Amino acid sequence: MSQAQQAADSSEDRDERESAKPCEPSPCRFSLEADKKAEDQRDTQDLELRGWLHRSKYLYYFCLLVPTTLMKTVIILRHGKSDWSSEAAQDHDRPLAPRGEKAAKLMGRFLKESGEAPDSIVTSSAVRARSTAELAMKAGKWDCEKRVSEKLYNCSPSDMLREIKAEPDTTGILLLVGHEPTCSETVTRLGGPGRMRFATAAMARLDLPIDHWQDADFGNAQLIWMVTPKLVEKLLGE
């Protein structure tokens, strides 16, 4: 066999071997496939993201309804203005003046309108305090338990704290109706910014980051708001 024939045969063998190898994708083809794969992944991620956003919209609204931190709320209300011209023989029996009756009803409606109606009321046994609680409850159409405590008449902030601690844990918002200077002193010691003036029928809300009323203590509450009858009149447009 001539050298030319041997070279031709070698060239043919080499061509056959090359043709027997699997075809490797060209760089251009590989790039197109990678781009398509990446695009499919982005489409999948976009679908997942849209689905998450759709679900999170409802989760957001749900979170608005469910507090992230459990807490208890105490609202302290001073009795309305009493009638000093009454013939009551004792301070304990002095009734409300017409102005005090009006203010008690106003504060009751305010709590109803603001969505903060109490779950339970504890009032001093004094006539003016009991009347304030009853008028506020009726005007605000509160559906809650009410009890009278002799311990809230002529008492100290420590006495008021003991009443708070004794409240059942089923209560979320507790309203205490009492007297001065105990109301302002109790708010200050629970978490108020300092000494404050508590006008008749003034009311303050404090939140405590606790699950059990027994854990309530001075210094661990936050004052959320404090309102007077004059301010509530403006807020309610009366």
Query: Residue 7 has what pLDDT?
Result: 42
- Alpha-carbon distance 117 to 120, whole Å? 9
Full strand arrangement of the beta sheet holding 203-208: 145-149, 120-124, 173-178, 72-78, 203-208, 222-227
Query: Residue 88 has what pLDDT?
Result: 84
Query: Residue 117 has what pLDDT?
Result: 97
Query: Residue 66 has what pLDDT?
Result: 42
Read off the tokens for 120. 């339970």
Query: Residue 197 has what pLDDT?
Result: 85
Query: Residue 203 has what pLDDT?
Result: 97
Query: Residue 87 has what pLDDT?
Result: 84
Low-confidence ranges of the chain (pLDDT < 50): 2-30, 49-68
Nearest to 121 by CA among 144, 140, 139: 144
Residue boundaries of the structural domains of the chain = 26-66, 72-236
Query: Residue 224 has what pLDDT?
Result: 95
- Alpha-carbon distance 7 to 146, whole Å? 113
CATH class of 72-236: alpha beta
